[in-house]
Amino acid sequence: MIEHSDPLAPDYQNACVTRLIPALLEGTEEPDWISPEMLQSTSVVLLVLDGLGWNQLRSRPEVAPTLMAMDGGAITTVAPSTTAAALTSITTGRPPGEHGLLGYRVAVADGVLNTLRWKTADGDARIRHDPETFQPLDCFGSQRPPVVTWQSFVDSGFTRAHLAGTRVTGFEDRAGLVESVLGLIATSEPFVYAYWDGIDHTAHEFGLADRYDEELAECDRMVTELLARLPVGTGVMVTADHGQVHVGDSMLDLPVDVTTLLTRQSGEARFRWLHARPGASQDLEEGAREAFNAVAWVHTAQEVVEAGWLGPVVTNAARERLGDVALVAREDIGFVDPAEFIPIQLIGRHGSLTSDEMLVPALGAVV
pTM for this one?
Answer: 0.97
In the chain, where the domains are located: 17-245+352-366, 251-347
**313: amino acid identity, one letter:** V
The alpha helices in the chain, defined as continuous H runs, are: 20-21, 36-39, 54-58, 65-69, 83-92, 96-99, 131-134, 157-162, 174-186, 198-206, 210-229, 256-259, 281-292, 301-307, 316-320, 355-358
pLDDT digits (tens, 9 = 90+) for 116-131: 999 999 999 999 999 9
Is residue 156 pLDDT above 70, yes or no?
yes
Which contacts qualify for 251-260: CB closer than 8 Å, 24 or more apart? Answer: 251/333, 251/334, 251/335, 251/336, 252/292, 252/295, 252/333, 252/334, 252/335, 252/336, 253/336, 254/291, 254/335, 254/336, 255/287, 255/291, 257/287, 257/291, 258/284, 258/287, 258/288, 258/291
pLDDT digits (tens, 9 = 90+) for 186-225: 999 999 999 999 999 999 999 999 999 999 999 999 999 9
Tell me the CB-side half-sphere exposure of residue 236, using CA atoms within 13 A: 27
pLDDT at 1: 33
pLDDT at 25: 96
pLDDT class of 142 with cuts at 50, 70, 90: confident
User: Per CATH, is 251-347 categorized as 3.30.1360.180?
Assistant: yes
Query: Rounded mean pLDDT of 45-72?
Result: 98
Name the more confident of 342 and 43.
Answer: 43
Is residue 3 pLDDT above 70, yes or no?
no
Q: What is the maximum span of the chain, computed from C-alpha positions, in angstroms?
A: 63
Instruction: Count the residues in the chain.
Output: 367
> What topology is assigned to 17-245+352-366 in CATH?
Alkaline Phosphatase, subunit A (3.40.720)
What is the percent of the chain with per-residue pLDDT over 70, rounded to a whole number?
99
d(C-alpha 184, C-alpha 174), whole Å: 16
Is residue 14 pLDDT above 90, yes or no?
yes
pLDDT class of 344 with cuts at 50, 70, 90: confident
- Cα-based distances in Å from 258 to 98, 286, 287: 30, 9, 6
d(C-alpha 357, C-alpha 307), whole Å: 18
pLDDT class of 2 with cuts at 50, 70, 90: very low
Is residue 49 pLDDT above 80, yes or no?
yes
pLDDT digits (tens, 9 = 90+) for 74-129: 999 999 999 999 999 999 999 999 999 999 999 999 999 999 999 999 999 999 99
What is the percent of the chain with per-residue pLDDT over 90, rounded to a whole number?
97
pLDDT at 5: 78
d(C-alpha 175, C-alpha 171), whole Å: 8
